[in-house]
Structures are given as C-alpha cells and as structure tokens.
Amino acid sequence: MMNVAITVKEFPPDIIGGTETQTRRMARALAEAGHDVTVYTKAYGRETEVDEPYEIVRVPNCRRSSFLSTLTYLLALTALLVRDRNEIDVLQCMMIYPNGFVGTVVHYLTGVPYFAWIRGGDYYFMKGNPVKRWLIRTVLWDTTVLVQSAAVRADVTAEFDPTDVRVLGNGVDVPAETASGDEIVFVGRLEEQKGVAVLLRALAGTEAASAVTIVGDGSRRSELEALADELGVDATFVGEVAPEAVGEYLERGRLFVLPSVRGEGLPNAVLEAMAAGLPVVATDTGGVADAIVDGETGYVVEPGDEQRLRDRIETIYADEQRAREMGDRAREYVIETYSWDAIVGRLEALYAECTDR
C-alpha cells in the first residue's frame, strides 16, 4: 500500500466542480483500497469537513485577490510538500496548471516521484497564456501526464511533443436504480462554454421543451432564465446541488444533454447520466466522444450546431423504447469501463511504476 499525496487547488464542501468531485471520490476509493491518502487543497476559512477515510490539509493563502491567492497557495503548498516529503510515496497533481508545476519543483527539491493530470479546462483555457504555456510544457517534458480521453491526448501530443501522456478516464459510482422519468436533464455550470443557450434555442418549439431540468448555477443564470421564458421553453432552474443529490434529478430524466461549446475533458455529468441509464446527446468537445458510442448509447454532434442538436434530441425523446434501450447500453458501458475498481487498479499500477523509477 502507498502513501499517496493528492494536490487539488479547490475542494468540497465550498467548491463543487467536476475536478473537485472526482478528486473526492477518487481519494475515498483509494483509501478504501487500503492506501494512506492525504489531499492538499486551498484553505477557504469556513470549511466544515465531513467524515472521510482520508486526511485533508488546508493550505493557507492570501485571498485579497485571485492572483495573490494562487501565488501564496502555490508557495505554501510547495513548503508543505517539502516538509512532508518523508511521508509521501507518490505525489498526484490534479490539473497540470498550477499543481503539476508544483509537483515538478517538489520532485527536484526532494526526489518524491510525481505525475500530473490534465482535466480539460486547465489545458485548453490556459495554454494560450505564454507563462502558463511554459509551465505546462515544463511538466509535460518532465513526467507522466494523464488525460481523460484519446482526443485530449492527441491534442496535447501534437502541440507539445510530451514525454509520456496516457489516457485514464474518470471513475463513476453506479446507482442501484435507473432513470425512469420524462425530462431533458442538464447538469453543469451556467457559463458560456457549457452551451446552455444553444440547448434552449434547439429545444424551442419541440415536444421536449415542455420538461427541461437545468441543474447548476453560474454567472449566466439570470440571462438563461430570461432566454427560456422568451423561447417558451419550460425549464426548471434548480441551482447548485451537492454532488450526492444529482442522482435524484437524473432519475427523473429520459435523456441527458451536454451542449458544451468548448473546453471539456471527460465530464463527470456524462458518466453519471450514463450510469443512471440515460442516453446522452453531447457535443464533440474534449473527451466527450470517447464516452459515447454514437448511435448506441447516445449521439455526438458538433459544438454550436443547434439544428443537429435538436434533431438528435427529438429522435430519442419521441421514442421512449429507443431511449430506454440506449440508456441500458450506456449503463452497461460505464460499468465495464469506468468503475472505481478499474480506475483504482490502473492508478495502483502507475504508482508502482513511479516508485520504481
């Protein structure tokens, strides 16, 4: 068994995003497999820790500005990891920027083996900045980097000629019950890149427009609520919910839609929807296409293509039997490919490889 240190910039309960949720579940699965896991993450000053089988170290930072918060977090994180070096067998850095570069520095200061993980946005949104691009390249040229899909691996390999990039998707919990409702469901942040406006325009005037559930919050919520009213789409905006509560909304669905216009890795929401027995219509961004067998477990469309999105949604929504069959295949695929047993086994093999170098 290994002493595993995981670095992630933000973490529940105050921050609940895809990477944060995945990290929490991964830490729990690793701990339940017998590993000694410590998660290093930003301190926010009002966290209420829940009972988990792993340790959480809250890293101090100055929150007067986003820049100062990140800078002081990185400096303090580096110091803490150097301090704890004798208690760490392997360092796992969630997001290549900024945590991956901390791993590089700590490795050269202490010799602790490490690897980094590209989650999607940390690569696609950051590589255009010259400084961040240099930091990303430094990590890619120094150690093994995991990505969530073959599509992301191809992008990274073509642009940076990295040392070692491997595909390892997200893990997912499979619920006992499958979905049995009639709603169109979306789960995600209400920001421009998630494409919810595209979804609402695609649904306007369709039968499916009468039962739409939008789970999540963000800066575009008011604008999207107004757009739904304008288009006559009967959309319920639930707001942000705890990750554990997402399942109850998926259970009400007939179909899950992720209309992102850019910047996805392998979204937890897609895998969770498939695990719940929902077919998925999603756009071809990042690793989404790796998770969906087009025409079998759902459909993949081009980002921003409202007409194609509408057609695929209507094809599934209008045929309840088709939706159920596609959803059953989606659930089977997730169980075979993305169970936590499979993910932990592959991580354990990488840990052994890192410590043998």
Give the C-alpha separation, 274 to 253, whole Å. 11
> What pLDDT is recorded for position 200?
98
pLDDT at 100 over 90: yes
Domains of the chain: 3-171+339-356 (3.40.50.2000), 183-337 (3.40.50.2000)
What is the residue-wise DSSP string for 3-55?
A: EEEEE-S--TTT---HHHHHHHHHHHHHHHTT-EEEEEEE--S-------SSE
Q: At 264, is the pLDDT very low, low, confident or very high (cuts 50, 70, 90)? A: low
pLDDT digits (tens, 9 = 90+) for 203-216: 999 999 999 999 99
What is the residue-wise DSSP string for 72-134?
A: HHHHHHHHHHHHTGGG-SEEEEESIIIIIHHHHHHHHHH---EEEE--SHHHHTTTTSHHHHH
Cis status of the peptide bond prior to 98, with omega within 30 of 0: yes
Q: How far, CA to CA in Å, does 29 sit from each of 32, 35, 114, 169, 345?
A: 5, 9, 19, 15, 10
> What pLDDT is recorded for position 49?
64
> What pLDDT is recorded for position 48?
58
Give the C-alpha separation, 26 to 347, whole Å. 10
Give the C-alpha separation, 78 to 22, whole Å. 23
> What pLDDT is recorded for position 284?
92
Count CB neighbours of 29 within 10 A.
20
- Of 47-51, 77-81, 180-184, the poorest mean pLDDT is in 47-51
Q: Looking at this protein, which amino acid is placed at residue 321?
A: Q
- Side-chain-side CA neighbours of 164 within 13 Å: the count stands at 9
CB contact at 8 A, 28 and 52: yes
Which residues make beta-bridge pairs with 235?
Answer: 212
CB contact at 8 A, 41 and 59: yes
Strand pairing category for 90-94 and 298-301 = unpaired
pLDDT at 119 over 90: no
Give the C-alpha separation, 104 to 180, whole Å. 48
pLDDT at 281 over 70: yes
In terms of pLDDT, which residue wins out, 46 or 113?
A: 113
CB contact at 8 A, 188 and 267: yes
DSSP 169: -
> What pLDDT is recorded for position 16?
67
pLDDT at 46 over 80: no
> What pLDDT is recorded for position 120?
74
> What pLDDT is recorded for position 14?
64
Give the C-alpha separation, 114 to 6, whole Å. 10
pLDDT at 287 over 80: no
Q: What would the mean pLDDT of 129-156 be, rounded to a whole number?
A: 91
Q: Which residue has the tokens 């499916």?
A: 208
- Which residue from 165, 164, 171 is spatially nearest to 152, judged by alpha carbons? 165
